[in-house]
Amino acid sequence: RKIIFEKQWFYLDNAIGHTYGTTFEVTSGGNLQPKQEVEETTTETKEAGTDNRNIVDDGKSQKLTHDDIKALKDKGIKGQEIVQQLIENSTTFRDKTEFAQDKYIKKKKKKYEAVITIVKPSTRILSTMYYAREPGKISHLRYDTLAQMLTLGNIRAGNKMIVMETCAGLVLGAVMERMGGYGSIIQMYPGGGPVRAATSCFGFPKSFFDNLHEFPLSKVDSLLSGTFSTETLPSEENALVEEESNGLTDEKQTSLLEAEEESATETAMEINQTEEQDTMDVNAEDGEFKENKEKENSNVQQKQRKQWERRKKLIETAALLTEKNADGLIIASKFHPTPLLLSLLEFVAPSRPFVVYCQYKEPLLECYTKLRERGGVINLKLSETWLRNYQVLPDRSHPKLTMSGGGGYLLSGITVVLDKGKSDSSHSEALKMEEPSSKRCKVQDPHC
Amino acid sequence: MSFVEYGDTIKDGDTAIVFLGHESMFPVKVQHGTVTQTKYGVIRHSTDLIGKKYGSKVTCSKGGWVFILHPTPELWTMNLPHRTQILYSTDISIITMMLELKPGSIVCESGTGSGSLSHALIRTVAPTGHLYTVEFHQQRAEKAREEFREHGVEHLVTVTNQDVCKNGFGVSNVADAVFLDIPSPWEAIGHAKSALKAEGGRICSFSPCIEQVQRTCLAMEEYGFTEINTLEILLRVYNVRTISLQIPDLGKAAEDNSSAGFDSSNPSNQGSPCANLQQGAVQFKSGVPLREMVGHTGYLTFATKS
């Protein structure tokens, strides 16, 4: 399989059998494996200037022409040697300060010495990568914000989590990694089916999917009002089949979409995904592909069996939800968070954390107000994190020049037992009591 | 209760968090016959707590009430008795993710300090992982052991009382990750490397000063660590407030009723839910930053052994 990455193309065959973290050099086509660490070829000329007062930018300091360089490249000369040539033919190089020389070499190396490192997929790698490459697909959820969500949500083995996300399955994958296959996850999905393009990049073992359930968002209301169960009782076969087949056409569309998405990301994605291929094939967990295949040679019987299985899973998931004892709720979607949160919180047990992500602050302000009106939550916190990266080098340590402008906002809190049977007035009174008097004004209804 | 497993009801011997409202809370050890004083009155453990559900509202003797919460590492971090400066959840969350911790991970930590990070690490690596934590202060090590026992997590952690810079972590080639929060982390990098698995792992060092970071980075390079990366994370918290700004009187004719005067600029006409007009003022909801925020905790340096 041919893979394209950063304007290079290569085959992965040679990479098999090496440990993760191995660095490879790209040759014309295949992969060559150089040493882990190339001995830094310290330029023999340890000459260096002290300042740049005599360095003039005349555009002629590099004696090699554009064509010369291209010729070197075409000859298939090692990148390392090209860099050396460039240095030797730079008239100003010797006059540059030691630090500037360093910087020059680094820059050239980056351009001419193509090396790739193959690493194991993890939330760290994938979330960093998605934020850098496809921020739109994950609602600009920055990796440190995702980290906060996992911690604030107390995600751990054994939990029963509800996850509602439209982040290509990245948040789901992160939650799955932290739960390590223990406990259960119910993914609420909009449209015809859950998107798990990023989830499949993690290369989870098949067993992790045994306790991963999904439930359509459009059925939440009926589930809460209690009309869901009758609708899907096995006795009402007809209504069900109809509803299911509707669901299927829906699903067909989205799974197509998904396939598209996947192929699109595949080329853009870093090594991680491609490297995944070996394990992914073994897993064959790709529900979508399977479904597609099955649909292709679909005969009526298979279709019916699938419908039946789907229905069974749906009923199971509904049963899990109606226990209303989930250990937490994670929301990160492109939808308005308020209605999602107000409905889905019903399924969460008291004294459990919930976290809502939103790219924008304003919807969370409203969410905060509505939650206060509803009650049943405490310790509400609206927050944002800033992330700053540093360059640390001897005598050259400072914050990196650019930092991310925004990684979204979080609203988090803890559920408590909701006062039942009390009138609304006493309820809002209770709310006021919770707030120190000075801040009372902020919980009052906006009346508009 | 356990710090690594949710329970429904409060039991004798549990650690629970009493939530008084508005960020004010404290931990209690639930015991038959014990009472706890709050500003809302007395809580009697036997009748008010034991057997109740976590998350319940408990009415105290003076008629005030509190919520009783299930303990989590995050709540513990906010309420634990400080024996040292501690790490807070913002730093902890990025550390956990960047060290790639998950159930089954083996982690080495030093120093244990007040155990703020330790609880979070244990939560994440449970039920099959393990934490080896090293604290050179004997009393603190003892206290940490006691807490882990009380919190039902002692099977997931080993506390060693020794100097990590001299004697290392007491284990070798077992760890997936190492975390250092000590004054001179560069002296422990070698031990960290030998504690990590042969096939590799991740390391993180937390230091408040850039000079410490500098020396640590040099040491990491020397020991062949790769992917060295230093970062800093800051938490900004917002208060949700309804703000009301007065409309200035620019001498517009009084009979021209004031609302018409600034119709165009009034967001309430655009259907914004919280803006409304009263007596020449415009109201809106805002997320207001706190007057003061934590500006610096420490630099986090991550690296990979491969």
What are the tens digits of pLDDT across the range A292-304?
A: 555 555 578 888 8
**Rounded-to-integer distance, Cα A275 and Cα A269, Å:** 11
- Max Cα-Cα span within chain A: 90
Residue pair A357/A367 in contact by the 8 Å Cβ criterion: no
Q: Of A116, A117, A125, which is closest to residue A146 (Cα–Cα)?
A: A125
Tell me if B92 is assigned to some domain. Answer: yes
The CATH number given to whatever domain includes residue B219 is 3.40.50.150
Residues B112, B195: one domain?
yes
The better pLDDT of the pair B25, A68 is held by B25
How many CA atoms are closer than 13 Å to the CA of B66, on its beta-carbon side? 27
Residues B36, B57: one domain?
yes
Taking only the tens place, the pLDDT of each residue in B105-148 is 999 999 999 999 999 999 999 899 999 999 999 999 999 999 99
Residues B79, B67: one domain?
no
Q: How far away is chain A from the Cα of B192, in angstroms, using its nearest Cα?
A: 19
- A122, A154, A414 ranked by CB distance to B100: nearest: A122
Cis peptide before B111 (omega within 30 of 0): yes
Q: Which of B32, B50, B71 is the last residue of a domain?
A: B71
Angle formed by the axes of helices A123-133 and A170-179, nearest 10°: 170
Residues B132, B188: one domain?
yes
Mean pLDDT over each residue of chain B, to the nearest integer: 89
Report the pLDDT value the prediction gives residue A116, as an integer from 0 to 100. 80
The helix (H) or strand (E) run that includes residue A165 is: strand A160-165
Tell me if B251 is assigned to some domain. Answer: no
Q: Which domains does chain A have, with CATH numbers?
A: 2-118 (no CATH), 121-230+299-418 (3.40.50.150)
Q: How far away is chain B from the Cα of A114, in angstroms, using its nearest Cα?
A: 17
Residues B67, B83: one domain?
no
Tell me if B136 is assigned to some domain. Answer: yes
CB–CB of B70 and A368 under 8 A?
Answer: no
Phi and psi at residue B217, in whole multiples of 5°? -60, -40
Q: Which of B55, B71, B87 is the last residue of a domain?
A: B71
- A124, A146, A366 ranked by CB distance to B273: nearest: A366
Tell me if B284 is assigned to some domain. Answer: no
CB–CB of B234 and A181 under 8 A?
Answer: no
Residues B161, B25: one domain?
no
Torsion angle defined by CA atoms of residues B271, B274, B280 and B281, in that order, rounded to the nearest 10 degrees: -140
Coil, strand, or helix at residue A137?
Answer: helix
Report the pLDDT value the prediction gives residue A417, as an integer from 0 to 100. 93
Selected for mutation to probe chain A from B218, B240, B269, B277 (highest A CB count within 10 Å) is B240
Going by the annotation, the residues of the binding site of B for S-adenosyl-L-methionine are 114-117, 135, 163, 181
Q: Which residues of A touch B22 (CB under 8 A)?
A: 434-436, 439
Tell me if B268 is assigned to some domain. Answer: no
CB–CB of A442 and B97 under 8 A?
Answer: no
Report the pLDDT value the prediction gives residue A278, as an integer from 0 to 100. 40
Provide the number of structural domains found in chain B: 2
Coil, strand, or helix at residue A49?
Answer: strand
Residues B83, B207: one domain?
yes
Q: How far away is chain B from the Cα of A32, in angstroms, using its nearest Cα?
A: 19
CB–CB of A386 and B236 under 8 A?
Answer: yes
Nearest CA in chain A to B272: A448
Q: How far away is chain B from the Cα of A448, in angstroms, using its nearest Cα?
A: 6
pLDDT at residue B267 tops 80 = no
CB of B149 within 8 Å of any CB in chain A? Answer: no
Report the pLDDT value the prediction gives residue A241, as an integer from 0 to 100. 41
Report the pLDDT value the prediction gives residue A431, as an integer from 0 to 100. 44
Report the pLDDT value the prediction gives residue B227, as an integer from 0 to 100. 92
Report the pLDDT value the prediction gives residue A294, as an integer from 0 to 100. 54
CB of B103 within 8 Å of any CB in chain A? Answer: yes
CB–CB of B229 and A389 under 8 A?
Answer: yes
Q: Of B174, B188, B250, which is closest to residue B223 (Cα–Cα)?
A: B188
Residue B224 belongs to domain spanning: 75-234+295-305
Residue pair A21/B305 in contact by the 8 Å Cβ criterion: no
Tell me if B249 is assigned to some domain. Answer: no
Tell me if B214 is assigned to some domain. Answer: yes
Q: Which of B48, B71, B94 is the last residue of a domain?
A: B71
Q: Which residues of A touch B237 (CB under 8 A)?
A: 381-383
Tell me if B134 is assigned to some domain. Answer: yes
Query: Tokens at residue A326, please?
Result: 């989930």
CB–CB of B6 and A378 under 8 A?
Answer: no
Residues of chain A with pLDDT under 70: 28-46, 229-298, 401-403, 405, 420-448
The better pLDDT of the pair B225, A49 is held by B225
Angle formed by the axes of helices A300-322 and A237-268, nearest 10°: 90
Residues B107, B182: one domain?
yes
Residues B209, B112: one domain?
yes
Report the pLDDT value the prediction gives residue A296, as an integer from 0 to 100. 58
The CATH number given to whatever domain includes residue B63 is 3.10.330.20
Going by the annotation, the residues of the binding site of B are 114-117, 135, 163, 181
Residues B80, B67: one domain?
no
Taking only the tens place, the pLDDT of each residue in A401-419 is 666 768 899 999 999 998 7
Give the total residue count for chain B.
306
Residues B110, B160: one domain?
yes
**Could you report the predicted ipTM of this complex, rounded to two decimals?**
0.91
- B6, B74, B226 ranked by CB distance to A152: nearest: B74
Selected for mutation to probe chain B from A351, A370, A427 (highest B CB count within 10 Å) is A351
**Rounded-to-integer distance, Cα A176 and Cα A212, Å:** 9
**Rounded-to-integer distance, Cα A204 and Cα A208, Å:** 6
Residues B124, B222: one domain?
yes
